[in-house]
């Protein structure tokens, strides 16, 4: 996905000839990386600027499609490794979160809220390299394009796009010091494009159809009909299915609603219009081996809204029963893009 990200960078702001050197650096990140001991976890400061309106120039509108905007944050940090956020999982309390960057680092912390329950800050932020089995950074073996997180209790699964691997961590026990163990994968995953491969994952919890299944979606690994390849790993019915691709959108993350429906976050890039994002809702009951699935659009946003390269999606339910979607963006470590966090409430219809 790095090539796509670099092209997105060019569309977000005027005057992009000056960033050619930055793009070359992004492409040249070494596959072998440095084979040295991992840096210890470090506490970092994250500064925020609140985003009070989702649509540019309209501060009073809060309803967008099936979602209601709750607020957002633009995040910055002086720490050199901050940025490139490609996935996030927010805990049931709506505060604690774990995220990862596409250069193989964890970011954990807490989302703070104001009296109106709008995001207001980030506290207790810690970053650390994602570790492989031998305790060295996962990136040191060239597995640095970490793009997705799936959570199963205290176990986290991390998807690595460029090499199309999935690594399991006992995060509940060891936190950011957990060491990853690669898991066996169906052969079709290894044949995905290495820059448009594994991009989104979720584990189906007990009590829902496909319970115990790890659902893994590619960014733009297409089948013979031009639809997006996706995989069911483990669980009651392992196999491959497809998600109908439309309007040139690619998948960037997914999450499950408490009802079991699968939300997929998608983004699109055109030179003449920049980036756009949308979220579709796919009934979990329609997903099965060899199925072709589709879902209705919950929200669409383009450059007239407060978006960037939106890559991470998480869902949690508040004590009051509201279903909250949290989205984060990948700034590609570019000064011309932003790391933003957005929250919406799902309005059931």
Taken as a whole, the chain contains a residue count of: 349
Cα Dmax for the chain: 53
Contact 284, 204 (CB under 8 A): yes
Summarize pLDDT for 180-233 with one digit per residue, the tens.
999 999 999 999 988 899 999 999 999 999 999 999 999 999 999 999 999 999
| pLDDT computed for residue 21 by the predictor | 37
Rounded CA separation 209/247 (Å): 29
Give DSSP secondary structure letters for 103-135.
TTEEEEEEEEE-TTS-EEEEEEEEEEEPB-TTS
Question: For residue 186, with 0-12 CB atoms within 10 Å meaning exposed, 13-18 middle and 19 or more buried, which class applies?
Answer: middle
| pLDDT computed for residue 36 by the predictor | 62
Rounded CA separation 136/142 (Å): 12
| pLDDT computed for residue 220 by the predictor | 96
Strands 214-222 and 228-233, sheet pairing: antiparallel
| pLDDT computed for residue 14 by the predictor | 36
The 8-class DSSP code of residue 207 comes to T
Residues pairing with 266 in the sheet: 251, 278
* Nearest partner of 310 among 255, 272, 347, judged by Cα: 255
Rounded CA separation 192/169 (Å): 23
| pLDDT computed for residue 15 by the predictor | 37
Question: In a 3-state reduction of DSSP, which class is residue 71?
Answer: strand
Global pTM exceeds 0.85: yes
Question: In a 3-state reduction of DSSP, which class is residue 127?
Answer: strand
Residue 234 CB neighbours (<10 A) = 14
What sections of 38-191 are H helices per DSSP?
A: 171-174, 187-190
Residues of the chain with pLDDT under 50: 1-34
Domain 2-346, classified CATH 2.30.29, yes or no: no
Rounded CA separation 308/338 (Å): 7
């Amino acid at each position: 996905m790095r090539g796509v990200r670099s092209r997105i960078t060019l569309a977000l702001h005027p005057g992009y000839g000056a960033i050619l050197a930055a793009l070359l650096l992004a492409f040249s990140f070494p596959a072998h990386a440095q084979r040295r001991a991992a840096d210890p976890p470090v506490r970092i400061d994250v500064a925020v600027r609140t985003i009070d309106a989702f649509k540019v120039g309209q501060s009073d509108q809060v309803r967008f499609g099936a979602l209601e905007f709750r607020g957002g944050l633009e995040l910055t940090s002086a720490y050199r490794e901050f940025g490139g956020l490609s996935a996030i999982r927010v805990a049931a309390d709506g505060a604690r979160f774990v995220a990862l960057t596409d250069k193989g680092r964890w970011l954990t912390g807490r989302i703070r809220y104001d009296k109106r329950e709008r995001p207001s800050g980030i506290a207790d932020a810690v970053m650390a390299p994602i570790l492989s089995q031998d305790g060295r950074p996962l990136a040191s073996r060239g597995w640095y394009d970490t793009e997705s997180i799936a959570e199963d209790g205290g176990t986290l699964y991390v998807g690595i796009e460029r090499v199309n691997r999935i690594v399991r961590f006992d995060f509940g026990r060891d936190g950011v010091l957990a060491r990853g163990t690669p898991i066996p994968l169906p052969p079709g995953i290894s044949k995905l494009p290495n820059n448009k491969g594994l991009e989104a994952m979720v584990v189906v919890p007990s009590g829902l159809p496909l319970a115990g299944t790890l659902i893994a979606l590619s960014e733009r690994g297409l089948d013979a009909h031009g639809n997006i390849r996706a995989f069911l790993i483990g669980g009651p019915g392992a196999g491959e299915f497809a998600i109908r691709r439309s309007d040139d959108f690619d998948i960037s993350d997914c999450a499950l609603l408490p009802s079991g429906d699968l939300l997929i976050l998608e983004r699109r890039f055109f030179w003449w219009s920049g980036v756009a994002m949308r979220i579709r809702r796919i009934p979990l009951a329609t997903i099965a081996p060899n199925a072709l699935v589709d879902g209705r659009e919950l929200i669409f946003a383009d450059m007239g809204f407060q978006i960037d390269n939106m890559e991470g999606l998480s869902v949690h339910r508040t004590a009051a029963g509201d279903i909250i979607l949290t989205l984060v963006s990948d700034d590609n470590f570019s000064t011309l893009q932003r790391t933003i966090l957005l929250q919406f409430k799902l309005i059931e219809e």
